[in-house]
Structure formats: structure tokens, C-alpha cells
Chain A
Amino acid sequence: MALDRVESWVVAGAAGLVALLAELLLMQSFVLSGMTLYSVLLILLLLYGTFRWPHPQHELLVLAIPSILRLLAYTLPLANLSPLFAQMMVSVPAGLTAVTFVWLLEQTWPNLRFAWRQLPLYLLLAAAGAVAGWLLFQFQQPPPPDTGSPLLWFFYIFVLVVAMAFVEEWLFRDIMQSALTRLWDNWLLAGLVVALIYTTLSLGLGSWPYVLLVFIMALALSWLRQATGNLLGVCVAHGAANLMFFLILPGLGSGGTLARLVTSGVLG
């Protein structure tokens, strides 16, 4: 039993290190090397899962999720699309990945049950997510989206909340965290590993303070997922952070200060 545990840590650690190396290669524009490394990692993890089935170690298959996401992001022909539309295109096969994992690992579908008595909690989470988005914006400013038409606003809200926040939370905080918690019987360790993997994928997105902030938020979301037992709360918080970071603050201009927010009537 102890040996199995050590084996799972070694496999998880090795997979994490290979993913980190692949991500660093992608950051340095060695795209083909990074993609090859991710492809090798994917095939090795699939083979590992095959040989370890039905032993609990097969849950480590979820560590293939970053490889699949990167293979999709770097191979789909999205060069002529806007970043947000590209996000939506990637989220479709990413959602398919989630469905396949749920089927294969016999997991439950994401729990998104809403109860009216919990409304204050969700409003609080939305506010916390918005503050998190504002904090992230202090370190990294995405380009303002084209918001010429009101229809575009609905499209952006759909992409940021459903295509990005929900699909990411489903893959990382639901499928990956549940599988690793089952394997190690320790949600804290599972949450830490999920947060580290999520942060590894965020390495190329901003400065070190930004990445550190993403790590802290990923840890908070892992805790929230465990504490609430459902995915709706984390989706609300993540969706609010995305709306604030990608849509509201860039839309307000480069300043994006709290004072501007209040005077623009967004908060008050």
C-alpha cells in the first residue's frame, strides 16, 4: 500500500515536471519541442493507465488533461480569430475531453444544483471573484474586446462564464481533483497538485506576481470546491473573475481603477 502511494507520487511528480518543461519550451517559442513533449506525456500516461487498470492508480490518467488541452490549443487553426472566439472553439473539444473522462472514470456529472436560500452565498462568491479579477488586472492587462454591438456582450459573457470558467472548473476542480482525492484520500494534497498543474499552464500568461496570484486563487477554488461539494460556487467565482479581468476592466480603459469603476456605475 505504501509502495503504491510512493508510485503514485513519483508518477504525478514526473508528469508534473515533464508538463513544466513542455510549458517552458512553449514559452520560449520552441513550439514543436513543447508539443512533442506533451504528446509523449499523453501517450505514456494513457499506457500507464491501461496497465494499472483497475488498480486505483489508474486515476492518474487525469494528469493527461494538460497535454490534451495544449495539443488542442496549438493545433487548431485559430490564427485569424479573436482570442475570445478562439477560446470558445477550444472549449468544445475540451468539453468533449471532460465528457470522456467522466465516462471512463465513472465519475458523476458536475453538480450545479442551485437553491434560492444559497443566493447570498453565490452573490458573495461573485463579489470575491470580481475582486480577484481586479487584483489580476493590476499585474496583467488583456487587450480591450470589441464591444461595438450589444450582442457581442452576450457572446463575451457566454464565452467567459460557460466556455472558459465552467469547462476549466469541470476539468480541473471537478474531474482532476475528485480523481486525485479518491486516489490519495486527501483532498488537500489533491487540491495542491491541481493548483500546481493549473499554475503551470498559466506560466506564460503574465508576470511572476500574476502567476503567484493565479496559484493562490487556484488553491482557494480547490478549497471552495471541497467545502461546498458542488461546482456552481467555483464557476460563479471564476466566471466573475473572468468577466472583471477580460471584459469590464479592459472595457473601461487602461486605468481600470476602483474609482473609475464606481463612477462608471459598475459597482455603485
Chain B
Amino acid sequence: MNVLFPPAALTAVRQEELYLYLQLIAVFTLLLLLIGRELTIGLKFPYARWRRVSLVGIVPLLFAFLLILLWHIIRST
């Protein structure tokens, strides 16, 4: 029983640049929403709560994103 990493993901991640791009979008969408108070003045968006809640998405994705960057740096040197 294993749901953390399906074997299909091993072949799917060959297009690494594509997924790096996708993850960039995911991470920066979250980051933008996290710090975007000035961009959405007047929407009554609960920023204080969002900052806490969005961490469950940001922490693992950002960690993975840094891991991907590290991987690319190691590969290119």
C-alpha cells in the first residue's frame, strides 16, 4: 500500500523543466496571495488567517521547489 509516490510519477517527471515551471506557478500563486494585500484592497480578504492557512501548501511546496532548484544546480555543474 503506497500512495505517496505512484510508480507512474517516475516516468512522468522526465519532462523536468515543464514541472519546474508548473511548480513555480503553484508556489508563486500562493506567495502572491500571501503578500498581495496591496493588490486587492477593498476585497475584505482575511489576510491574517490566509497567512496561517496557506502555510500548509507553501511549506512542502517551497521545500520541494528548493530541492528542484538544488537538483538543477547540481546537474548543471
Chain A residues within CB distance 8 Å of chain B: 26-27, 29, 31-32, 35-36, 39, 42-43, 46-47, 49-51, 53, 58, 61, 64, 68-69, 71-79, 81, 83, 86-87, 89-94, 96-97, 100-101, 104, 136, 163-164, 167-168, 198, 201-202, 204-205, 214, 217-218, 238, 241-242, 245-246
Shortest A224–chain B CB gap in Å is 14
Chain B interface residue bracket vs A: 35 or more
Q: How far is the CA of A180 from the CA of B67 in the complex (A)?
A: 32
Chain B residues within CB distance 8 Å of chain A: 1-14, 16, 18-20, 22-23, 25-26, 29-30, 33, 46, 49-50, 52-57, 59-61, 63-64, 67-68, 71-72
Q: How far is the CA of A246 from the CA of B53 in the complex (A)?
A: 36
Q: Are A87 and B4 in contact (CB under 8 A)?
A: yes
Q: With A39-B26, A77-B71, A96-B59 as known contacts, state yes or no: A168 contacts B3, CB within 8 Å.
A: yes
Considering only CB atoms, which chain A residue lies closest to B22 in the complex? A35
| Majority DSSP secondary structure for residues of A touching B | helix
List 21 interface pairs A-B (beta carbons < 8 Å), by A numbering: A26-B12, A29-B12, A39-B25, A43-B33, A46-B54, A50-B49, A64-B56, A73-B5, A73-B9, A75-B23, A75-B64, A78-B9, A78-B13, A79-B11, A79-B14, A83-B7, A86-B5, A87-B5, A96-B63, A201-B3, A204-B6
Q: Are A73 and B23 in contact (CB under 8 A)?
A: no
Question: Besides A94-B60, A96-B60, A164-B4, 16 other CB < 8 A contacts?
Answer: A26-B8, A26-B12, A31-B12, A35-B22, A43-B57, A46-B30, A61-B53, A78-B13, A79-B13, A79-B16, A93-B60, A97-B60, A168-B2, A202-B1, A238-B1, A242-B1
Q: Are B8 and A27 in contact (CB under 8 A)?
A: yes
Q: Are B4 and A100 in contact (CB under 8 A)?
A: no
Q: Are A214 and B64 in contact (CB under 8 A)?
A: no
- Chain B residues, Cβ within 8 Å of A78: 5, 9-10, 13
Q: Are A76 and B67 in contact (CB under 8 A)?
A: yes
| Majority DSSP secondary structure for residues of B touching A | helix
Q: Are B59 and A100 in contact (CB under 8 A)?
A: yes
Q: Are A50 and B50 in contact (CB under 8 A)?
A: yes
Leading 7 A-B pairs by shortest Cβ distance:
A201-B3, A93-B60, A75-B23, A73-B9, A77-B71, A97-B60, A75-B19
Shortest A41–chain B CB gap in Å is 11
Q: Are A50 and B46 in contact (CB under 8 A)?
A: yes
Considering only CB atoms, which chain A residue lies closest to B58 in the complex? A100
Q: Are A90 and B5 in contact (CB under 8 A)?
A: yes
Q: How far is the CA of A101 from the CA of B60 in the complex (A)?
A: 11
Shortest B29–chain A CB gap in Å is 7
Shortest A202–chain B CB gap in Å is 6
- Chain A residues, Cβ within 8 Å of B13: 74-79
